[in-house]
Structure 1
């Protein structure tokens, strides 16, 4: 069970979708909701249970509506075991997450320009989805749930092609029930075998890129967590200490300074922390900035005019000192006229790269550099059609 939204507000005032999928039959159910409060979720569950019965387990994320006292009381009353996914790891409930993507893609093809009629299309789209056989089971969700082919759009199309067929002879109720029970048992066994084969194929593809990782209590790790309420702003934070292993793929990590003192996280959200050496920043000339790292950490800092040469031998210091005291190294760049070269351009070919905006925090530095190079005669204004964007390297 999962909640999709908020989406475009419909004419009925609905802004959320409660999506429920059955792992055994792949049968989906979607309830449009105005709010995702626990009482509305519980009401939708009762509507579903009145048609298909009570489940043994329900898997959800750790949303406040799913973790409420009201739903816990409903689960206890109906004998349902509540299961939770680890935070920020939607792969645990991959079946529902994948159906959410399919549902959104289907809705985009039918909603109006404003998207305010999305809740009116849900019954039609769900009917079409339930009638199509699933690759993992080999049967349609309708057929696995009810034990026979449901007369839907595909059945109507087939009848139109084949024409009206003669009706079969009626059978008594006992024969029908026995036949239905045998058919359900055969379909269940076939579906389980097909599902096992599909999962085996999926595991082979997953294992090609998967890497086994494990952490010991007391080990330092980096944790992928959102910096705010938005999941899109997640980045590696830490280092934090691993407290204990709570499951095959989950660890309890101490997170001091955050909202909660400790969290239970999936191993995919953890990576080993390797401390840097003390003199690494002094000898490193080029550092590849990772996607999640801050660029400001590598901006040049103001250094002292007196260089520390204590790490060199006395002979090396004597060789370096004349270079430092001479005019070889200057603060401003220069240019030479001793060597000239020409750039041969292809005729009738203009190279024009698409320009892009410079970050606001670099605007001042960019203007200072351009003014300096203009004053030194290194560059000059140009109206040529040839152009390339400026690339600032901290």
Structure 2
């Protein structure tokens, strides 16, 4: 199950809840005024799905707040339904629903491109047309798989009745059905062509393989994402979830799910390994060498620098307080290049008072370093690609 969101308002509805049965491929399109809470989702499930199909053994969804909430997890556990979630940043793991979403959106785009406030009226027609169409994997329609027959589709003989209003309604329904059927067929064909064009064989990974991870959906601490690395790592695979999803051993400062679709990975061939430089003990305190400063900011009255550490990749960049930094030369170089940045000679005044600048002791002949509080996590990193 999934949601199609950010639709133009149609009779007060802006969201479509899409539910697809994995076996029969039968789909239900339920219009909603907005994204529901977990409690409301449970009520909607009883109202629209349970009455036709009962409780399923398993539900596949993305990691939306409704689906990962404690209430929804507890509700599904109590009714005997197992939950499965799509891979991080790859909702196509929820494949069937994603494909239905694409067909539905393409259909709506074909039919309501001009008058976008009528889509909610067309959902019953779209649902019937989808469930009455032959599915490529089974060779049968969802209706036939579930009921053993095809419900009678809309037909209009063209003859008129003595009731003009009934004639006009049936004529309008006939036109709508024809357009809906054609639009949904065109949408399915366009989707198939696009998928066939981009489809390629996924590499066969195994536990222990090193892979590069795409930064497409990862927010790195760098000034400009456009100029940042396209891949980071490599990281070892610690588990194979299924042929299309793996689990990686990520740095501890990555607060994201470590399960990824294989489309976000690429093999790390002939990878050279380099040990992270160990800290230097100065006056009993471990310190790490700074390579350069990338940015600066004020946080709660304290000046901080976005620090790149020598021997570490961009994923280890971190903000460090000026009080923990002993790198006058690098700070001067940074502010010569960016005098308008916080802490520089022409930085704009900061609201809420001035920052007290204290002189830092000079470190003649020593590389710029930082106390333990600002160090990156201790681990081994290969040389970046």
The TM-score, its normalising length taken from structure 1, stands at 0.50
Q: Give, in whole Å, the separation in 1 of the partners of 2:202 and 2:57.
A: 33
Q: Give, in whole Å, the separation in 1 of the partners of 2:119 and 2:16.
A: 10
Answering whether residue 234 of structure 2 is matched by residue 244 of structure 1, we say no
Tell whether the 8 Å contact from 2:238 to 2:249 is kept in structure 1 after alignment: no
Tell whether the 8 Å contact from 1:251 to 1:264 is kept in structure 2 after alignment: yes
Q: Give, in whole Å, the separation in 2 of the partners of 1:103 and 1:217.
A: 40
Q: Let me know the Cα RMSD of the aligned residues.
A: 3.5
Q: Which runs of 5+ in 2 are unaligned?
A: 159-195, 275-385
Q: Give, in whole Å, the separation in 2 of the partners of 1:139 and 1:262.
A: 38
SS at match of 1:247: strand
SS at match of 1:18: strand
SS at match of 1:226: coil
| Aligned equivalent of 2:249, options 251, 254, 259 | 254
Matches within 5 A, 1:97-246: 97-111=98-112, 113-153=114-154, 156=155, 160=157, 209-217=200-208, 219=210, 221-227=212-218, 236-242=230-236, 244-246=238-240
Rate the CA distance shift 1:131–1:97 in 2: closer, same or farther, 3 A. same
Tell whether the 8 Å contact from 1:20 to 1:96 is kept in structure 2 after alignment: yes
Deviation, structure 1 residue 261:
6.2
Q: Which has the higher strand share?
A: 2
Matches within 5 A, 1:251-290: 251-256=246-251, 259-260=254-255, 263-273=258-268
Tell whether the 8 Å contact from 2:212 to 2:232 is kept in structure 1 after alignment: yes
TM-superposition CA deviations, 1:90-122 (whole Å, max 9, x none): 332222111111111221233263512211211
Q: In structure 1, what is the equivalent of residue 302 of structure 2? A: none
Deviation, structure 1 residue 3:
1.2
SS at match of 1:121: helix
Matches within 5 A, 1:308-323: none
TM-superposition CA deviations, 1:190-249 (whole Å, max 9, x none): xxxxxxxxxxxxxxx89x9415332543836333441459xx999733114225114243
Q: In structure 2, what is the equivalent of residue 41 of structure 1? A: 41
SS at match of 2:140: coil
Q: Give, in whole Å, the separation in 2 of the partners of 1:112 and 1:86.
A: 32
Tell whether the 8 Å contact from 1:18 to 1:33 is kept in structure 2 after alignment: yes
SS at match of 2:95: helix
Aligned length: 228
Q: Give, in whole Å, the separation in 2 of the partners of 1:121 and 1:258.
A: 47
Q: Give, in whole Å, the separation in 1 of the partners of 2:263 and 2:256.
A: 20
Matches within 5 A, 1:360-375: none
Q: Give, in whole Å, the separation in 2 of the partners of 1:239 and 1:133.
A: 45
Tell whether the 8 Å contact from 1:254 to 1:262 is kept in structure 2 after alignment: no
Higher mean alpha-carbon deviation, 45-54 vs 110-119, is at: 110-119
Higher gyration radius (CA): 1
Tell whether the 8 Å contact from 1:218 to 1:242 is kept in structure 2 after alignment: yes
Q: Give, in whole Å, the separation in 2 of the partners of 1:267 and 1:112.
A: 35
The TM-score, its normalising length taken from structure 2, stands at 0.52
Tell whether the 8 Å contact from 2:210 to 2:235 is kept in structure 1 after alignment: yes
Higher mean alpha-carbon deviation, 93-102 vs 250-259, is at: 250-259
Q: In structure 2, what is the equivalent of residue 19 of structure 1? A: 18
Rate the CA distance shift 1:136–1:248 in 2: closer, same or farther, 3 A. closer
Tell whether the 8 Å contact from 1:85 to 1:93 is kept in structure 2 after alignment: yes
Higher mean alpha-carbon deviation, 38-47 vs 209-218, is at: 209-218
Rate the CA distance shift 1:96–1:211 in 2: closer, same or farther, 3 A. closer
Tell whether the 8 Å contact from 2:211 to 2:265 is kept in structure 1 after alignment: no
Tell whether the 8 Å contact from 2:59 to 2:81 is kept in structure 1 after alignment: yes
Give the number of the structure with larger relative contact order, counting CA–CA contacts within 8 Å between residues 6 or more apart. Answer: 2
Q: Give, in whole Å, the separation in 1 of the partners of 2:74 and 2:18.
A: 21
Q: In structure 2, what is the equivalent of residue 63 of structure 1? A: 64
Q: Give, in whole Å, the separation in 2 of the partners of 1:220 and 1:132.
A: 41
Answering whether residue 82 of structure 2 is matched by residue 92 of structure 1, we say no
